[in-house]
């Protein structure tokens, strides 16, 4: 960010969005959600009330599981589902047989993609970052639904197919051979 005012504006915006979500959602999920809340708390001198409330609710989530909204952190609240020791989202997904292959990172890093977008305005890099973030969000939601007992899937649920199907032609990256090659043919039941 270029200016402190932008940072405060971003924190205020996040606080307003969080207040709305806390008022209307029955479940709030994230992977390392506690880290996101901690960053919001440390970033601003005046923490938005919703950030304070969400941080407290996250810390009390196991003592008061019936509270609404329910907070689920897929890094810390999925042990009952897993056989793996790792708590990286990609490993949790693999253990739960969610295919979350990340072709965007096969020959580069997230840092390099960000640099290509910020320094060179590379639209493909921006689209790849967006798809990575959407995959992360969707897989987090699916894992949280499973942890909450709200969903189940057949082994091998393919998150990239869900993204391709749901996003259609919104991003050129979804038609790139590096992305389409991993989609394969859907399994026929």
DSSP 174: G
Domain ranges of the chain: 1-73, 83-189
CB 176 within 8 A of CB 123: no
Per the DSSP assignment, residues forming a β-bridge with 158 are 99
Strands 27-30 and 70-73: parallel
Q: How far apart are CA 157 and CA 96, in angstroms?
A: 9
42-91 confidence digits (pLDDT tens): 886 778 899 999 999 999 988 877 778 999 999 999 989 999 999 999 99
The per-residue pLDDT for 128 is 96
The per-residue pLDDT for 118 is 94
Residue with tokens 């506690």: 34
Candidates 159, 163, 58; CA nearest to 101 is 159
Distances (CA, A) of 175 to 95, 168, 180: 28, 9, 6
148-173 confidence digits (pLDDT tens): 999 888 888 999 999 999 998 899 99
Alpha carbon 96 to its chain's center:
16
The per-residue pLDDT for 189 is 42
CB 39 within 8 A of CB 68: no
User: Where do runs of H (alpha helix) occur along 82-181?
Assistant: 89-95, 110-120, 123-147, 159-167, 177-180
């Amino acid at each position: 960010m270029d200016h402190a005012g932008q940072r405060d504006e971003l924190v205020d915006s996040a606080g307003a969005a969080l207040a709305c979500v806390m008022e209307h959602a029955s479940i709030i999920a994230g992977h390392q959600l506690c880290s996101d809340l901690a960053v919001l708390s440390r970033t601003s001198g005046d923490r938005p009330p919703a950030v304070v409330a969400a941080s407290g609710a996250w810390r009390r989530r196991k003592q008061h599981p019936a509270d609404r909204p329910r907070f689920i952190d897929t890094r810390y609240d999925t042990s009952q589902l897993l056989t793996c020791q790792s708590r990286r989202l990609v490993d949790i997904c693999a253990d739960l047989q969610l295919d979350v292959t990340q072709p965007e990172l096969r020959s580069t890093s997230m840092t390099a993609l960000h640099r290509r977008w910020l320094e060179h305005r590379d639209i493909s890099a921006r689209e790849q970052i967006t798809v990575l973030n959407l995959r992360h969000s969707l897989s987090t939601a699916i894992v949280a639904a499973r942890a909450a007992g709200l969903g189940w899937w057949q082994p091998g649920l393919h998150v990239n197919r869900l993204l391709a199907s749901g996003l259609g032609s919104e991003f050129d990256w979804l038609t790139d051979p590096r992305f389409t090659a991993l989609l394969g043919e859907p399994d026929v039941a």
